[in-house]
């Protein structure tokens, strides 16, 4: 099966301080960086990105550790997979493409990278959209039984001693497809070609190890960085759009806009008729929301 992106996207590999980042670029207009979540790749945007090409230069990347981007080995404390390091990759990609200011939208893990990018490079990020997340710090500070059951993978993937790597490595296709099916409700069905691409990429033991390091960093070094921002009073200065699934754990468990108002100056957003995988389940609504949000910010 081929990757379900139109041929108008051109693939490039960009080296950022020794880490190769896989990216696809298409369209014309103000730049928009789209970041994927777990356990996907840039392909999660295959239904949304083509709808934005008329108004934007759309940049799709694989986060470090995912897809066909490099997967640095993790060291003690997992600094290689801190969201700060992953955000710096994306800033470097956009600079290499000639964009010193751009909008960014991220789903799931990509939303956490985008959040960190907006904090660390406020002069570069013109607008931020986060899909089906609340901030990591808020989620972990308010974790309870329901969170532990609904988001058990946060704790499983963060476990040490190679436990999740070994167990997932025994049958990565089963792990990916069951996680995705469990968080899908009422929207468009997953494209088999996209799922096959996720399985191909995630079947690499280095990708499994990297994603576990990503989650360990979230429970460790990322919280250190997030807490430092909280103490300093740093919040996202760019306008922020939050979208979430009305059937998702996030939608059921948080007052999403109120949570984000503690982390950003200007917040808007809405629930969409989906579960977690908004770009695949509700692509038209995601594209419309992004288009309207970004158009308003350009006018403003």
Q: Where are the domains of the chain?
A: 10-299
Report angle CA 8, 51, 293 to the nearest 5 degrees: 130
Please tell me the predicted confidence (pLDDT) of residue 141. Answer: 95
Q: How many CB atoms lie within 10 A of CB 247?
A: 20
Active site residues: 108, 276
Please tell me the predicted confidence (pLDDT) of residue 297. Answer: 72
What CATH superfamily is the domain 10-299?
Alpha/Beta hydrolase fold, catalytic domain (3.40.50.1820)
Q: How many CB atoms lie within 10 A of CB 23?
A: 24
Over its length of 300 residues, how does the chain's per-residue pLDDT go in tens digits? 467 888 899 999 999 999 999 999 999 999 999 999 999 999 999 999 999 999 999 999 999 999 999 999 999 999 999 999 999 999 999 999 999 999 999 999 999 999 999 999 999 999 999 999 999 999 999 999 999 999 999 999 999 999 999 999 999 999 999 999 999 988 899 999 999 999 999 999 999 999 999 999 999 999 999 999 999 999 999 999 999 999 999 999 999 999 999 999 999 999 999 999 999 999 999 999 999 999 987 654
Q: How many CB atoms lie within 10 A of CB 20?
A: 15
**Is there a contact between 188 and 283 (Cβ–Cβ < 8 Å)?**
yes
Please tell me the predicted confidence (pLDDT) of residue 4. Answer: 80
Please tell me the predicted confidence (pLDDT) of residue 1. Answer: 47
Q: How far apart are CA 185 and CA 183, in angstroms?
A: 7
- For the packed helices 83-96 and 221-232, what is the interaxial angle rounded to 10 degrees? 80
Please tell me the predicted confidence (pLDDT) of residue 299. Answer: 52
**Is there a contact between 196 and 290 (Cβ–Cβ < 8 Å)?**
no
Q: What sign has the CA pseudo-torsion 177, 181, 184, 188?
A: positive
Q: How far is CA 260 from the centre of its chain?
A: 16
Length of the chain in terms of residues written: 300
Characterize 74-110 residue by residue with b for buried, 16 or more Cβ atoms within 10 angstroms of its Cβ, and e for exposed. Answer: beeebebbbbbbbbbbbbbbbeebebeebbbbbbbbb
């Amino acid at each position: 099966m081929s990757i379900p992106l139109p041929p108008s996207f051109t693939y490039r590999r960009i080296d950022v301080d020794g880490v190769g980042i896989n990216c696809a670029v298409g369209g014309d207009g103000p730049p928009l960086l789209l970041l994927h979540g777990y356990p996907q790749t840039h392909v999660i945007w295959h239904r949304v990105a083509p709808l934005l090409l008329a108004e934007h230069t759309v940049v799709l990347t694989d986060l470090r550790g995912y897809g066909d981007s490099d997967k640095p080995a993790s060291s003690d404390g997992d600094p290689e997979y801190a969201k700060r390091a992953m955000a710096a990759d994306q800033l470097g990609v956009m600079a290499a493409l000639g964009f010193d200011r751009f909008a960014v939208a991220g789903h799931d893990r990509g939303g956490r990278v985008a959040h960190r990018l907006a904090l660390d490079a406020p002069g570069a990020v013109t607008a931020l959209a986060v899909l089906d997340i609340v901030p990591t710090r808020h989620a972990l500070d308010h974790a309870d039984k329901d969170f532990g059951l609904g988001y058990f993978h946060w704790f499983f993937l963060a476990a040490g001693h190679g436990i999740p790597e070994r167990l997932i490595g025994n049958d990565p296709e089963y792990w990916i497809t069951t996680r995705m099916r469990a968080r899908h409700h009422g929207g468009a069905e997953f494209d088999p070609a996209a799922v096959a691409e996720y399985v191909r990429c995630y079947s690499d033991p280095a990708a499994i190890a990297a994603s576990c390091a990503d989650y360990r960093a979230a429970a460790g070094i990322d919280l250190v960085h997030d807490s430092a921002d909280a103490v300093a009073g740093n919040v996202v200065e760019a306008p922020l759009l939050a979208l979430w699934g009305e059937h998702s754990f996030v939608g059921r468990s948080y007052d999403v806009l109120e949570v984000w108002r503690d982390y950003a100056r200007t917040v808007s957003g809405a629930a969409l008729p989906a579960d977690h995988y908004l770009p695949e389940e509700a692509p038209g609504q995601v594209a419309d929301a992004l288009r309207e949000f970004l158009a308003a910010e350009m006018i403003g």
